[in-house]
Amino acid sequence: MVSISIVCLLSLFLLLPSPTITAAFNYKSALSKSILYFESQRSGHLPHTQRATWRHHSGLADGLQQGVDLVGGYYDAGDHVKFGLPMAFTVTMLSWGAAEYGEEIAAAGEERHVLEAIKWGTDYFVKAHTEANVLWAEVGDGDTDHYCWQRPEDMTTPRQAYKIDTNKPGSDLAGETAAAMAAASIVFRKSDPHYSHLLLHHAQQLFEFGDKYRGNYDKSVEKVRSFYGSVSGYMDELLWAALWLHRATGKREYLDYAVANGVFFGGTEWSIKEFSWDVKFAGIQVLAAKILLLKEEPLTENHQKVLQQYRAKAEHYICSCLNKNNNGSNVLRTPGGLLFVRPWNNMQYVSTAAFLLTIYSDYLTAASEKELHCYEGTVPAADLLDFAKTQADYILGNNPNGLSYLVGFGRRYPTRVHHRGASMVAYRESQGFIGCTQGYDEWYSRRKPNPNVIVGAIVGGPGLRDEFLDERGNYMQTEACTYNTAPMVGVFAKLNSLAQTNLSKGSLPGGLKCLGSSELAAEQN
């Protein structure tokens, strides 16, 4: 395989007047690994099909004290708290990717895996939504959890569960969970209509609950405040939920809601340079712009006017990523070209930006709009995708450190990911109990690489000068989160499909089909 590829590359160099070939990445492998990552983060009873075999059952009594079955769901990062808000955002982003790029994902043979990854989250949300106006928000708490360094299988920390209800509301959490279930209902519509309908039912109830009983969830569940406090409040999540419900049901009432509340809730007002589990305005604005761009339904003059305002803000976000706004309102970049928002887990903002740029490029193209108008000039629609590709390629190793920030991809990647389970001997290999602080003494403080490679995790990533320190204690850079990887699933699916198109165009004269550089990359991975 290697020798054929090299022959191919050589012949390309000979044939082309000015060779511009750079080693492309194997996006298919990146896609598969990204989806596999979610298996490492599973809580609950693992199925026999579990492919991340260094993990085992955990959290099997979650909810028992409260008399509710809260077994399942995802750990958010390197610890074992089940935080509802980032978990729901993760599932929304996985579902958005699958809703946009379902065909590309299926062509890469990953349809079943991505559905499983989404369902692992939505099954948990179904359990956690025990009554119309009750949603379990969190299991475990950050303070006691972080006191220990243990495998999830050995967990001895308190598993207190916290809920929101009519007395203790949480419109942000209810809204995000509604968005996740509505988005997932679109993905399951064909393969499992019954499940899709169930998710939609929960989504509608949760949206009503969040809208009727308004408040920030971190006021009701104070334990969450220093970990996933809702800085942007709940208005963005209510708009987000309404737009997802509109997309899932086609019902006019949800669009009317987003239009009527555009100003008051800030959807048409905020120009924001980041998109995250907390701050959703850019995502809302892109979703709203799609309705206008794709003209999928008749719109009143007022709808059009307000959607146009949403669109202007969406494009402000896109232009800020492209460095095309007037100064002061662009996203910083590292010397190596990575978007930079802030030092702690910067990669989360990179992956959400790569996702929004990728789909916005597709929306513009589908609307036959050839360019985007930014303050600093017009940008061809294709450039959005090209820029998203630079960010994906940076993540995969095209960066000053020559390091892939997608764990398990390429030859060099972080080996001391800040992750309890990955940093300790696999349960399968040694079932002897490892105590709370014993893990710190025997595993956390070791210099050696983690014994388990947490394939597909995207770590927090480098700092403002591209600097990165691969140390377990450097959690700002080496901890991985589910919401870092989730948006990249759609991006890798799109890039893989484009790379396949490139390959099929790359046949050489004389019948020798050039396998091209991405096959070379396949050898490396």
Taking phi over 0 as left and psi of -120 to 50 as alpha, with beta for the rest, 402 belongs to left
Query: Binding residue for ligand NAG (CB under 6 A) from 4, 107, 299, 498?
Result: 498
DSSP line for 160-191: -EEEE-SSS--HHHHHHHHHHHHHHHHHTTTT
Query: Closest CB to ligand NAG among 18 and 49?
Result: 18
**Minimum Å distance from CB 25 to ligand NAG?**
8
Q: How far apart are CA 513 and CA 506, in angstroms?
A: 7
SS3 sequence, 112-156? Answer: HHHHHHHHHHHHHHHHHCCECCEEEEEECCHHHHHHCCCCHHHCC
DSSP line for 418-481: S-TTTTS--TTT--S---TTHHIIIIIT--SPPSS--TT-BB----TTS-----TT-HHHH-B-
The span of 82-90, 118-126, 477-485, 491-499 binding ligand NAG (CB under 6 A) equals: 491-499
As given in the structure block, the two tokens for residue 93 are 């982003």
**Minimum Å distance from CB 176 to ligand NAG?**
32
Query: Closest CB to ligand NAG among 241 and 499?
Result: 499
As given in the structure block, the two tokens for residue 110 are 């990953």
Catalytic: which of 56, 80, 129, 418? Answer: 418
Query: Closest CB to ligand NAG among 24 and 137?
Result: 24
**481 touching ligand NAG, by CB under 6 A:** no
**Minimum Å distance from CB 492 to ligand NAG?**
10
418 is catalytic: yes
Query: Binding residue for ligand NAG (CB under 6 A) from 117, 455, 499, 521?
Result: 499
Q: b/e for 104-141, b at 16 or more Cβ within 10 A?
A: bbeebebbebbbbbbbbbbbbbbbbbbeebebbbbbbb
Query: Binding residue for ligand NAG (CB under 6 A) from 327, 335, 510, 511?
Result: 327
Query: Closest CB to ligand NAG among 308 and 502?
Result: 502
As given in the structure block, the two tokens for residue 446 are 């070791």
**Minimum Å distance from CB 313 to ligand NAG?**
22
Identity of the amino acid at 264: F
As given in the structure block, the two tokens for residue 448 are 């050696």
Residues 359-398 binding ligand NAG (CB under 6 A) are 389
Query: Closest CB to ligand NAG among 24 and 331?
Result: 24
Residues 4-33 binding ligand NAG (CB under 6 A) are 24
Beta-bridge partners for 274: none
Query: Binding residue for ligand NAG (CB under 6 A) from 17, 67, 298, 328?
Result: 328
**515 touching ligand NAG, by CB under 6 A:** no
Query: Binding residue for ligand NAG (CB under 6 A) from 243, 259, 374, 495?
Result: 495
Query: Closest CB to ligand NAG among 478 and 518?
Result: 518
Catalytically active residues, by annotation: 418
Give contact residues for ligand NAG (rule: CB under 6 A): 24, 327-328, 389, 495, 498-499, 502
